[in-house]
Amino acid sequence: MRILFLLLLFTMPLHAAELQQTTFKNGVKLIVEEDHSAPVAMVQVWLKVGGRDEVPGKTGLAHVFEHMMFKGSKALKPGEYSKRISAMGGNDNAFTSHDFTAYFETVPANQVDTVLKMEAERFSHLDLNAEEFGREIKVIMEERRMRTEDDPNSHMFEELSAAALRLHPYRNPVIGWMQDLQRLDIHDVRAFYKQHYVARNATVVIVGDVDFKHVKSIVAKTFARMKNVDVPPRFNPTEPEPLGAKRVDVHLPAKSPVLAITLPVPVWQPGKNDTETAALAIATHILGGGRTALLQRQLVDKQRKAFSASAGYDPFGMGLDLWYAYGMLGAKQSPADFEKALWTILNHMGKQPVSEKQLQIAKKNMVASEIFAQDSLYLRAKEIGRMETVGIGAIHKDEWLNAIRAVTAKDVQEVVAKYLRPERATTGILKPEVHS
Amino acid sequence: MKRMYIQLLSFACLCFGFAANSYAVPAIQTAQLDNGLKILLIEAHNVPMVSMQLTMPAGSRFDKLGKAGTASMLAAVLSDHTAKHDDKAWAEWLDSEALRLGASASRDSLSLSLTVVKDSLTVGLDAFSEALLQPGWRNKRFLSLREDDIAAAIKSQETPGSQAAQATAKLLYGTHAYGHTTNGTAKSLTHIKLSDLKELYLKQLRPVGSVLAVSGDVSMQEILALITPRLKNWQGKPEIAALDIQQPSIITGKSSHVSLPTSQTLVQFSRLGVARSSTDFFPLFVMNHLLGGGGFGSKLMEEVREKRGLVYGVYSYFIPLAAPGPFVITLQTRAEQAEKATQVVRDVMQSMADGKIDKKQLNASKSNLIGSFAQRMDSNRERVGLLSMIGFYQMPLDYLQHWTAHVQSVTLAEVKHMSKVYLQNNDWNITEVGPAKEKKQ
């Protein structure tokens, strides 16, 4: 799930070992970052398939499929996969976004070979059973109820994304619309497997106490033996430019209002738009990052128009990103006042350059975040897998920091003026409904 | 880390692991300042960063009756501004040096934490000691923060999880010091004054009984050289020691319903667990892993989700505190089937209490726990958390060295005994958050 409330955080290695990678004949890719500081390894298998690859009426299918990967294969009974990982002292799980699906295991380093064999087995020989599907789809509906239906904030953001875009698949929730979930069946799941779970869509990422040459030999005997199948380019339509502002009111049994704006903005394409996207990342950090975050300082601390406010931008998407800013309001605070004050700040940023101090603070903290992210094997592997899977290429990841370092105050001003304009925005307001 | 450690004041690590686990546990180095502050360190030089946390006996258990949220607000104010810097200047200073300084409260303790890149350690400790020793007590700013916290407390009532946390604390502990959530409520927050924060600060934020846990690219010599001069004027012992707490009364068979217009009902079972010092800890820890602490392998997940598709998640946990903390089982399911799911949980508890656990299940839990031990300390953040726990709750300094052996030695008879003692249906209380009950029928 794309999580909208997280602060902007970049997580790319600075001082880590170099990436070692290879691509096998059938298209499977292996990327390894050795780290021998603890006898632990993070294994992640990334698939170039996600919510964006679903056809109309079948939203949620990529995520449903993620669940089915734990429901048995030729060699393993339903649930057996996780039990074996657990017994070797490991933990496993998976996640799905619009752009990718990933499966991961944290295990003692001496178990990596076994994990790779097990992963390759379920990828090649999944047993998609109708009865298991029938139970699992109910689990997923409970997941949707918990994450979305019963959470007014995320429900509002779902509506906002759907209203903001016409073509781009980010308009649909990754978990799927409930109406679609109710109609999916096992045939949909089987067709999805056949089409997307092929060698050319897979990237194996390992970070931890392993030897590249050795794991390469294991992948050669497992994933590299999957059938060599061609895959068509991924669905990535060009979203038409907004023709004017849009608004959506969301009436739900909430306790207090939330106002959010979202605008389509570009994502990073190395060598093509480095300055623009890095400047947008810096602008977003100035607005929403750290203790000096402008939205919190101005709109919350100074003007008292909300009790919490922030902004977010994800430069590592596919096609575009839905840039956002929001305020959570107390009972006596007015959405209209907050909205006006928010646009005053954004408009000002488009007219005046930010100060050199603001710029340096943003850069320094973005670099520090990269160092702190090294503390987690999970985040390191995730950044590699993600960059590779969305088409940026893990090999380019260090170039992002260079792009950040090169941004000027003028670049920030220009990018804000170009993209963060009210006539391009969709505004969503969570309006509390009086209920019992 | 496979490196030799300087034998400063450190406890020599004499054991090199057990048959089941050859992982060389990193050594804990310790020191004590003249003012009584304990320092615990694990060195890790793979990332050029240092993380630390100062844990003091000033958690929400010290909130006065009707003033839930005091400790939490004290944490917020200490990290927001100081006598030398107002909140704006403070924010600019911390951000311009990329210092991640924060504070938070839990039931037993208040923590001040710092994460810095290695190059900023000295300036980081300047800020850290200023936050601790030179509080600003700016009332206007306090009132703003309190107003925002009140609005956030109201907002949080939209979600079943925070409603359940409040209701369960009250149900299980009543007027005991654990009988409210750390964040407080909109009502309790309005009763808190800046003087309440000052009082807690003066009484409880003292070096004796407090612990500074450090992990990262730093040696004990470096830390002592930086910390000793900065904290030398911090003196005294807290009015109430960390482990000096009244025992909670045992509450059983109570229930509570909170009405919320949601599609699901959240069901939360609760009873008292154990104190951190309890000898039941390891057998209970393994038993809970089998019950619902072990994710997909656990009995609750198997019965409620995998076999019946009733929930997305169901899990159990117990929180060992200075006094017995809560033991909780939680699930969320479509309101119409809440009763059915509740019954499945009851059946699982009953069967375990009746001794229906086999050796194979026990061994599966033990091998997961032992095998994943290294993962529990493979980052600075996790190591700081473990060191804080060991120091604050006065666990033996070889705790980590013996951890896997303790898990390994838990027998089937002990797990059956723990199940019999802790999983009697009638001893558990129930909190439900969801649509009013009559609507369900």
| pLDDT mean over B174-190 | 97
pLDDT at site A397? 85
Q: Are B251 and B172 in contact (CB under 8 A)?
A: yes
The alpha-carbon gap from A314 to the nearest alpha carbon of chain B, in Å, equals 21
Assigned CATH topology for domain A246-432: Cytochrome Bc1 Complex; Chain A, domain 1 (3.30.830)
Q: Enumerate long-range contacts of A314-317, CB under 8 Å, 24 or more apart.
A: A314/A2, A314/A8, A314/A267, A315/A267, A315/A268, A315/A277, A315/A278, A315/A280, A315/A281, A315/A400, A316/A267, A316/A268, A316/A386, A316/A387, A316/A390, A316/A392, A317/A98, A317/A99, A317/A170, A317/A267, A317/A390
Is A66 catalytic? The answer is yes
Whole-angstrom distance, CA of residue A68 vs CA of residue A51 = 15
Question: Above 50 in pLDDT, residue A13?
Answer: no
pLDDT at site A258? 98
Name the domain count of chain B. Answer: 2
Whole-angstrom distance, CA of residue A268 vs CA of residue A253 = 38
> Which amino acid type is present at position B29?
Q
Question: Has domain A20-225 been given CATH number 3.30.830.10?
Answer: yes
Q: Is B3 a domain residue?
A: no
Among B1, B260, B263, pick the best mutation site for testing chain A contact (most A Cβ within 10 A).
B263
What is the ipTM, given to two decimal places?
0.91
Q: Is B243 a domain residue?
A: no
Give the CATH number of the domain where residue B107 resides: 3.30.830.10
Which residues 236-265 in chain B show a CB within 8 A of chain A? 259, 261-264
Set of chain B residues whose Cβ sits within 8 Å of the Cβ of A357: 92, 96
Q: Is B130 a domain residue?
A: yes
Which residues 287-316 in chain B show a CB within 8 A of chain A? 294-297, 302, 305-313
Q: Name the region of B21 (left: φ>0; alpha: ψ -120 to 50; beta: rest).
A: beta
Question: Above 60 in pLDDT, residue B295?
Answer: yes
Q: Are residues B192 and B261 in the same domain?
A: no
Q: Pick from A90, A142, A308: which is nearest to B333 by CB?
A: A142
Q: Are B46 and B162 in contact (CB under 8 A)?
A: no
- pLDDT-derived band at B6, boundaries 50, 70, 90: very low
- pLDDT-derived band at B23, boundaries 50, 70, 90: low
Write the DSSP assignment of A337-396 as a string of letters.
Answer: HHHHHHHHHHHHHHHSPPPHHHHHHHHHHHHHHHHHHTT-HHHHHHHHHHHHHTTS-GGG
pLDDT in tens, A182-240: 999 999 999 999 999 999 999 999 999 999 999 999 999 999 999 999 999 998 999 99
Determine, for residues B367 and A143 on separate chains, whether the beta-carbon distance falls below 8 Å.
Answer: no
Q: How far apart are the first and last CA of chain A?
A: 31
Q: Are A24 and A219 in contact (CB under 8 A)?
A: yes
Q: Are residues B211 and B161 in the same domain?
A: yes
Cα A228–Cα A233–Cα A237 angle in degrees, nearest 5: 160
Residue B227 Cα distances to A56, A80, B307, angstroms: 61, 51, 55
Determine, for residues B381 and A139 on separate chains, whether the beta-carbon distance falls below 8 Å.
Answer: no
Determine, for residues A364 and B44 on separate chains, whether the beta-carbon distance falls below 8 Å.
Answer: no
Q: Are residues B284 and B401 in the same domain?
A: yes
pLDDT in tens, B227-284: 999 999 999 999 999 999 999 999 999 999 999 999 999 999 999 999 999 999 999 9
- Candidate list A33, A66, A136, A383, residue with the active-site label: A66
Determine, for residues A139 and B264 on separate chains, whether the beta-carbon distance falls below 8 Å.
Answer: no
pLDDT in tens, A133-166: 999 999 999 999 999 999 999 999 999 999 999 9
Q: Are residues B307 and B166 in the same domain?
A: no
| pLDDT mean over A426-432 | 97
Question: Above 60 in pLDDT, residue B7?
Answer: no
> Which amino acid type is present at position B268?
Q
- Strand segments, DSSP code E, in B273-325 are 314-318
- Rg over alpha carbons for chain B, rounded to the nearest Å, is 23
Q: Are residues B262 and B195 in the same domain?
A: no
User: Who contacts A94 (Cβ-Cβ below 8 Å, separation ≥6)?
Assistant: A66, A69, A70, A101, A102, A103, A104
CATH topology match: A20-225 vs A246-432: yes
Is A114 in CB contact (< 8 Å) with chain B? no
Q: Are residues B311 and B421 in the same domain?
A: yes
Whole-angstrom distance, CA of residue B24 vs CA of residue B5 = 13
| pLDDT mean over B181-188 | 97
* Last residue in a domain, options B231, B263, B284: B231
- pTM equals 0.93
For chain B, give the mean pLDDT: 92
Q: Are residues B420 and B329 in the same domain?
A: yes
Q: Count interface pairs A-B at CB distance under 8 A.
A: 194
CA-wise closest residue to A339 among A350, A325, A349, A353: A325
Question: Above 80 in pLDDT, residue B9?
Answer: no
Determine, for residues A329 and B151 on separate chains, whether the beta-carbon distance falls below 8 Å.
Answer: yes
Q: What percent of chain B lies above the pLDDT cut of 90?
A: 90
Question: Above 60 in pLDDT, residue A91?
Answer: yes
Reading the block at residue A162, the tokens are 């759907």
Q: By three-state DSSP, how is residue A307 classified?
A: coil
pLDDT at site B438? 59
Set of chain B residues whose Cβ sits within 8 Å of the Cβ of A137: 309
Domain that holds residue B126: 29-231
Give the nearest chain B residue to A154 (CA atoms).
B159
Q: How do the domains of chain A map onto residue ranges? A: 20-225, 246-432
